[in-house]
Amino acid sequence: MSEYTIYHNPRCSKSRQTLELLKENGVEPKIVEYLKNPPSASELKKVLKLLGFEPQQLMRKKEAEYKEAGLDNDALSTDEQIKLMVAYPKVIERPVVFSADKAAVGRPPENVLELI
């Protein structure tokens, strides 16, 4: 079985539910509190590729930081968006669970069951 990682925010109920669901199914993921330890641009690119997402698809558009960072600017390149996601990790959707070859967003938490 592959090793799983979760970008986790312990204050988020969906993130806590997703982590609990993984554990109930025998998965002990590596927990990354991404607000304290944001992913690097290369890590974020890898996760986006595994999800098959463009950066905007992994953003929390209702967060104040989304507009503050200028992420609502359609002229930003993919690399610029990723750099801003690293600088403003609060805009990254949560939770994200991934392994070496697949990923899912835990909204709803049951989405991650397809990984295991």
Catalytic site residue from 1, 8, 12, 59: 12
Q: Are the C-beta atoms of residues 90 and 63 closer than 8 Å to each other?
A: yes
103 is catalytic: no
In 3D space, the residue among 65, 58, 53, 49 whose CA is nearest the CA of residue 92 turns out to be 58
Nearest-5° Cα angle at 41, 78 to 114 = 85
Is beta strand 30-33 parallel, antiparallel or unpaired with respect to 96-98? unpaired
The residues assigned a catalytic role are 12
